[in-house]
Chain A
């Protein structure tokens, strides 16, 4: 008997949730924005701004790695706007015909920086990595992590790649580099300026890679084909590109593209 009651309760609970999700679907002017996880703080703030400016509209976010977000769109996820941390994934989406033509725009740029844990004083520039006292340098795996590719380009620019190759500790994402530096597992690491700014007390930026030393780190955004709310999606992108949107992005360390 007990299990029968449990079953009925579960049935009622699930009916309630089905009803709720139908009610949610009826709301118009709701868009889902798939954005790279590194954009979280900035985009949530822009989303709130959009909602206060356009009463009755709702912006939902879906945060993850750009590659995973691309797979979701490919699988038919109900996404209206796609903001990627790398041109590569956006190019792929474009080539496969998932984007509304003419909606793609670059909205932010990032800077590649060298960080150390606040206590380390001996490393002052990329060239200092050449010193014998430096044993381990954290960088993303260049095969899969864009930040790792940029790091390699910067090392090549400074002519130290061969010298430091044996000291590189490869990670599967750029946040892991940040974590290693904070915990003192590596002497220094190469991350984006926006990453370093999430732990201002624990890491210090000792050098910024010159712009010409690596390919530009530019973030593209576009409307996804099949959206039910193309107007809202375009209006959201317009807000990201506007002066107000750019001010919010700048607050979190992003530059203008």
Chain B
């Protein structure tokens, strides 16, 4: 394997790991609120977090540029304060993967939290446990299957992220070309043997993660 392929593999794993790390933390919090609390506009919040699942990736990429670009709504302030812009860095790839993977985490986690037996939750309350203890000792352990499956799905989705990444992180060989971007470049420039190698590698890697997700969600609890 040549250095370009190795670099892309390493970068993809790194981007997906960082993205999944934040997806899990924020995904659990949002899913918990959506599943356990009632507040005005709850379904609108759910809709906003789910949108990236159905919007075309270039549209998400465009939104991200409008928000985080050097002239963007938030990006401008960050640039003025620190001189740093996320565009064309691997952080941008992680951010794009985070946004598209988050809905998968929220959807699966919310569903599994909602399916936790209400009697067990009420029993925890009657035993004098507060919301926090109940969440960590009762609800989340019982919803573990869904949480793990959501995390693995998110990771696999992050590995395959293309459109939004292309817009925000650019397609810079040796800097931001994750496996999907590298495959796009190789195929466009007619380097088919290398493209095929990477297509097979990416398929195997994603396949393994999905398999693990299935095994875990069967075995869990």
* Cα–Cα distance between A163 and B79 once the two chains are bound (Å): 56
Q: Is B70 a contact of A75 with CB atoms below 8 Å?
A: yes
Chain B residues within an 8 Å CB radius of A64: 166, 170-171
* Cα–Cα distance between A17 and B18 once the two chains are bound (Å): 12
Chain B residues within an 8 Å CB radius of A101: none
Chain B residues within an 8 Å CB radius of A40: 185, 188-189
Q: Which one of A74, A77, A175 contacts B188 once the chains associate, using CB atoms below 8 Å?
A: A175
Q: Is A71 a contact of B62 with CB atoms below 8 Å?
A: yes
Interface residues in B86-112 by Cβ distance below 8 A to A read 87-90
- Given the interface pairs A62-B88, A68-B166, the reply to whether A76 lies near B185 with Cβ below 8 Å is no
* Complex interface bits, B67-79 against A, C-beta within 8 A gives 1, otherwise 0: 0011110011001
* Cα–Cα distance between A14 and B89 once the two chains are bound (Å): 13
* Cα–Cα distance between A183 and B39 once the two chains are bound (Å): 55
Q: Which residue of chain B lies nearest to A41 when distances are taken between CB atoms in the complex?
A: B189
Chain B residues within an 8 Å CB radius of A32: 88, 170, 172
Chain A residues within an 8 Å CB radius of B21: 10
Q: Decide yes or no whether B8 CB sits under 8 A from chain A.
A: no
Q: Is B166 a contact of A76 with CB atoms below 8 Å?
A: no
Among A10, A14, A34, A40, the most chain B Cβ lie within 10 Å of the Cβ of A40
Main secondary structure of the interface of B (DSSP, over half): helix
Q: Decide yes or no whether A57 CB sits under 8 A from chain B.
A: no
Shortest CB distance B30–A (Å) = 19
* Cα–Cα distance between A14 and B90 once the two chains are bound (Å): 11
Q: Is B79 a contact of A17 with CB atoms below 8 Å?
A: no
Q: Is A75 a contact of B188 with CB atoms below 8 Å?
A: no
Q: Is A75 a contact of B65 with CB atoms below 8 Å?
A: yes
- Given the interface pairs A14-B18, A32-B88, A62-B172, the reply to whether A77 lies near B190 with Cβ below 8 Å is no
Among A17, A62, A64, the most chain B Cβ lie within 10 Å of the Cβ of A62
Chain B residues within an 8 Å CB radius of A71: 62, 65, 167
Q: Decide yes or no whether B173 CB sits under 8 A from chain A.
A: yes
Q: How many chain B residues touch A (Cβ–Cβ < 8 Å)? A: 35
Chain B residues within an 8 Å CB radius of A76: 69-72, 75-76, 79, 85, 87
Q: Decide yes or no whether B36 CB sits under 8 A from chain A.
A: no
Q: Decide yes or no whether A117 CB sits under 8 A from chain B.
A: no
* Cα–Cα distance between A71 and B163 once the two chains are bound (Å): 13
Chain A residues within an 8 Å CB radius of B172: 32, 60-62
Chain A residues within an 8 Å CB radius of B167: 68, 71-72
Q: Is B171 a contact of A63 with CB atoms below 8 Å?
A: yes
Q: Total contacts A to B, CB within 8 angstroms?
A: 91
* Cα–Cα distance between A75 and B74 once the two chains are bound (Å): 12
Chain B residues within an 8 Å CB radius of A78: 70, 85, 87-88
Q: Decide yes or no whether A21 CB sits under 8 A from chain B.
A: yes
Q: Decide yes or no whether B35 CB sits under 8 A from chain A.
A: no
Shortest CB distance B198–A (Å) = 15
* Complex interface bits, A23-39 against B, C-beta within 8 A gives 1, otherwise 0: 00000000010100110
Q: Is A74 a contact of B88 with CB atoms below 8 Å?
A: no
Q: Decide yes or no whether A198 CB sits under 8 A from chain B.
A: yes
* Complex interface bits, B145-168 against A, C-beta within 8 A gives 1, otherwise 0: 000000000000000000000110
Interface residues in B46-82 by Cβ distance below 8 A to A read 58, 61-62, 65-66, 69-72, 75-76, 79
* Cα–Cα distance between A18 and B133 once the two chains are bound (Å): 36
* Cα–Cα distance between A130 and B167 once the two chains are bound (Å): 41
* Cα–Cα distance between A17 and B176 once the two chains are bound (Å): 13
In the complex, besides A41-B190, A75-B71, A77-B85, 6 extra interface pairs with C-beta distance below 8 angstroms are A13-B14, A14-B18, A40-B185, A75-B65, A75-B69, A76-B87
Which 7 residue pairs spanning A and B have beta carbons closest together? A76-B70, A198-B190, A75-B69, A75-B65, A76-B71, A62-B170, A40-B189
User: What are 17 A-B residue pairs whose CB atoms fall within 8 Å in the complex?
Assistant: A17-B90, A21-B89, A32-B172, A60-B172, A60-B174, A63-B185, A64-B170, A68-B58, A71-B62, A72-B69, A72-B170, A74-B65, A76-B79, A77-B85, A78-B70, A78-B87, A79-B88
